Chain A
Amino acid sequence: DAEITQSPRHKITETGRQVTLACHQTWNHNNMFWYRQDLGHGLRLIHYSYGVHDTNKGEVSDGYSVSRSNTEDLPLTLESAASSQTSVYFCASSVRGAETQYFGPGTRLLVL
């Protein structure tokens, strides 16, 4: 079955380290999104992409980067992890021209 997966599901890292979170979807969706979820803030958009080689900043993009080299994957990189980036990260995707987003299972990241 087509799906959207994230890895790792849990990650502990130290401040200053580079971390990459993977997101992979097999629906052939053009649109992909990264959110972080924190208590009291809901889900906030970090970066998004409408297709290969397209990336855009969301409302909380500082300290994060993405690249889109194929349709299936949108990895999220924390260039130098900070304790403020401790959060649950969700990837989502949607069909080109459609609004409905489908979420991955999430990655829980702890930065010590």
Chain B
Amino acid sequence: GENVEQHPSTLSVQEGDSAVIKCTYSDSASNYFPWYKQELGKRPQLIIDIRSNVGEKKDQRIAVTLNKTAKHFSLHITETQPEDSAVYFCAASTTSGTYKYIFGTGTRLKVLA
């Protein structure tokens, strides 16, 4: 069935370093890829998204890249700060027009001061 794989499951970086989280999706009809950040005990919150007609999108220290041919997309966080520590989820909107998400299993990012 439709699937999104996310790696790594945990990631520790030093403050100021970059962090990269990678996701691979199986449904070639997927055309929308959001990233959510979830702090402990809180709801998932959208931090950035990308559509299939775009290869890269940036928002300050956060960027997302998409390779449709390889069916993978990545989240890049530069100049990490302690407040970036959280669980990050990628998702793929599985079939055009259904607006359903298949989520990855999450990456726990720890930024060490």
Contact = CB atoms under 8 A, between A and B. Distances in A.
Interface of A: 31, 33, 35, 40-45, 48, 50, 58-59, 90, 94, 98-106
Nearest to B51: A99
Given A42-B105, A45-B101, A100 B34 contact: yes
7 smallest A-B Cβ distances: which pairs? A42-B105, A99-B32, A103-B43, A43-B103, A42-B103, A103-B44, A42-B106
Contacts of A48: 100
A58 B100 CA distance: 9
A99 B46 contact: no
Q: For B6, B49, B101, B102, which residue has the most chain A Cβ atoms within 10 angstroms?
A: B101
Contacts of B100: 33, 45, 48, 58
Say whether chain B's binding surface is mostly helix, strand, loop, or mixed: strand
Interface string B81-106: 00000000101010000011111111
B103 A100 contact: no
Interface residues of B, number: 22
Nearest to A58: B100
B12 interface: no
Given A42-B104, A42-B105, A100 B49 contact: yes
Interface in B40-92: 42-46, 49, 89, 91
Nearest to B91: A43
Contacts of A50: 99
